[in-house]
Structure formats: C-alpha cells, structure tokens
C-alpha cells in the first residue's frame, strides 16, 4: 500500500513509499493517510512526480547497478517522471588507486547501461556523481566527479563536473582528500529543462557555497539538486540545515539523493535523502537503509511564493556585491 502526507494545496504534496510494497532492501518513511485528503482537488495529483533514490554503494559496480536499476524501475512503475541517484551511485572505492582503476569515460559500458535503462523505463535520470575519465585522462591520470542528466530517450542532455572538492579532516569522521584523485570542474552548468522543472546541477560539498545556488537560481533554476555522500559526523550536524537553507534563500525546491550505511571497512554515509520545498519544509525523506521517497513538484506554488516574498528584487548589490553572478 501507499501512504500519503496531504498538505494544504499551496504546498508541495509528498508521496512516500511504504515498506509494505515488499521491494528488496527497501526501507523508507511511511506516512498514514489523513481524512482531509478528500478535500484536495484531483489536479494536485497531476503535478510532476519525482523519485529520490538512496543506496549504499560499494566497490562492486555490477551489484550497485542492479540495486539502482531496481529502484529506478520501481520509480517508473509508481509514475515518476524523473529519478535522482546520489553521488557515487556507480561505486565507492576503498582508496584513490581503486577509484581511478574503477572509473570510466562517459561513453563507457556503465553509462551505456543507464542509457538503455532510461529508454526502457521512459524516465529522466539524474546520475548524481559519476567517476568520469575525461578527455584529459591520459595526461592527468585523474578523474572528474560528474553529474549527468539523461532524458527519457537515454540521451545525455547535461553534465556538471563538481567545482568544490571535499578536502577536509573532520575529527571522528576520518580525512577526505577528494583532490587526490579528482580534478575540479571548470564551470557551472546552466539549468536544464526537465518534465519536473528547470534543474540546477550541483554535487554534495557544493551545498556549502550559497554563491553557487544563487547563480543557478538567477539563471532560471526552479529545482536545485545536491546528490551526496555525507559523513556520519557532518550529516547529523549540517545535512538538513544546509539543504533547508539553500531552499529558503533560493526559493527553489531542493532534491538531495544520498548515500547511506557502510560502504566498506573504511567508509560510511549518513543517508536521510530528502526533498525540501521553497518554504524550507522537508516534504519527503527516506528513512534508514536503501530505498526511495517520492514528491510532487508544484511550480505554481514556487512562483506564488517568489511573488509574495520577492527577495531577489530586494537585493542591494551596490552594498555587498553580487553573491553569485548570473551565468553567462
């Protein structure tokens, strides 16, 4: 069965998948139906539905694909138009050497499998962080952390290479030196039109830089994506706070697919994939373990909110400069 959280019509309606569907390894938040669902007009259910997938990637690329494909097919069965996968959906390696060994170019076998899957399901896919061997692989022997958007025909319609690399040492979480194997991307990607709205692309650590989200929204973004693999210390402290802040200040929906659980003996991730509406309300979230949650995107609500609270018209760049220049 499916459970629903029914919010007032001016808010995004969230639809959450229950464990009762008996999907292997599926564990997500389930909400009970409310009587006032009868009062919601049928047009609310015609809003675009997006699916946010939560997985535990390992160094086993084949098994990771099987897990992701299972969730994507379930998202399609439930009527989603777009499914979001987290950063490192392809694999999470034990060390930089293994990361480089397992990486592939965009034209490799793994992206080919996802291309076929998108066509099979008739679904747009946000592949949130692919370990990409770029055209400079032979010279650099380093990769890009690449967010790829596939349309429902399986064509690559957008790519964004992570611009802010996570080189940090958090006590209790272990060091992270992404630059050991990864090159920072050279630019932002203009928001891409999808059946759910115009999506601005980012990846994980990018969420700590509001200039990026402000640049994307000024370029027309209506949905910001932060596919992630947050750690067990920063996750409880910062994950939801940062996502809600990005939604509020940009007046965008925020979709954040996350890695969860223990990937191998050296690394674990926080999980808690979620969707946040432009008011800053968490309208859908995954519970513990691999699974998915779904939410409807109401762009009319977004436009009304921006009209009633026109913060971008009230900015004073002559006082503090442009915090996030519009994309050229």
Mean pLDDT by 10 residues, the chain (328 residues): 32 35 34 28 73 97 98 98 98 94 97 98 97 96 98 98 93 85 96 98 97 96 97 94 98 98 89 98 94 97 98 93 74
Phi, psi of 2 (to 5 degrees): -110, 140
Contact 162, 184 (CB under 8 A): yes
pLDDT of residue 29: 40
3-state secondary structure at position 275:
strand
Contact 219, 179 (CB under 8 A): no
pLDDT of residue 171: 86
Place of tokens 């997500």: 28
Which active-site residues does the annotation give?
87, 162, 204
Contact 269, 229 (CB under 8 A): yes
Burial class (CB in 10 A: 0-12, 13-18, 19+), 47: middle
Enumerate the H helices of 78-199 as residue ranges.
Answer: 96-102, 109-121, 137-140
Which pTM was predicted? 0.87
CA distances from residue 243 to 90, 97, 282 in whole angstroms, order as listed: 23, 32, 9
Give the domains, in start order, of the chain with CATH numbers.
49-313 (3.60.110.10)
The CA distance from 67 to 89, in Å, is 10
Which DSSP category does 273 fall into? -
Of the candidates 302, 94, 281, 101, the one whose C-alpha atom is nearest the C-alpha of residue 196 is 302
Of the candidates 81, 158, 156, 170, the one whose C-alpha atom is nearest the C-alpha of residue 122 is 81
Place of tokens 């223990």: 262
pLDDT of residue 36: 27
């Amino acid at each position: 069965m499916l459970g629903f959280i029914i919010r007032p019509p001016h808010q995004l309606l969230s639809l959450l998948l229950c464990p009762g569907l008996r999907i292997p390894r599926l564990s997500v938040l389930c909400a009970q139906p409310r009587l006032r669902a009868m009062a919601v007009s049928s047009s609310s259910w015609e809003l675009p539905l997006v699916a946010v997938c939560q997985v535990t990637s390992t160094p086993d690329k084949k098994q990771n694909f099987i897990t992701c494909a299972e969730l994507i097919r379930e998202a399609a069965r439930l009527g989603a138009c777009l499914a979001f996968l987290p950063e490192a959906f392809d694999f999470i390696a034990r060390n930089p050497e293994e990361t480089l060994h397992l990486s592939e170019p965009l034209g490799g076998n793994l992206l080919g499998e996802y291309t076929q899957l998108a066509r099979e399901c008739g679904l747009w896919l946000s592949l949130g962080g692919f370990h990409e061997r770029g055209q400079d692989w032979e010279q650099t022997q380093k990769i890009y952390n690449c967010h790829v958007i596939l349309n429902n025909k399986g064509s690559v319609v957008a790519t964004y290479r992570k611009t802010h690399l996570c080189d940090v040492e958090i006590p209790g979480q272990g060091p992270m030196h992404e630059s050991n194997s990864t090159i920072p991307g050279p630019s932002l990607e203009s928001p891409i039109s999808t059946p759910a709205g115009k999506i601005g692309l980012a990846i994980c650590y990018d969420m700590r830089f509001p200039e990026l989200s402000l640049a994307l929204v000024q370029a027309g973004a209506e949905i910001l994506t932060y596919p992630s693999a947050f750690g067990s210390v920063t996750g409880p402290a910062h994950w939801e706070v940062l996502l809600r802040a990005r939604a509020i200040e940009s007046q965008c929906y925020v979709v954040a697919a996350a890695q969860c659980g223990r990937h191998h003996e050296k690394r674990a991730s926080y999980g808690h994939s979620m969707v946040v509406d432009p008011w800053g309300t968490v309208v859908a979230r995954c519970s513990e373990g691999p699974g998915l949650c779904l939410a409807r995107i109401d762009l009319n609500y977004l436009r009304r909110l921006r009209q009633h609270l026109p913060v971008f018209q009230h900015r004073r760049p002559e006082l503090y400069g442009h915090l996030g220049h519009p994309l050229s």
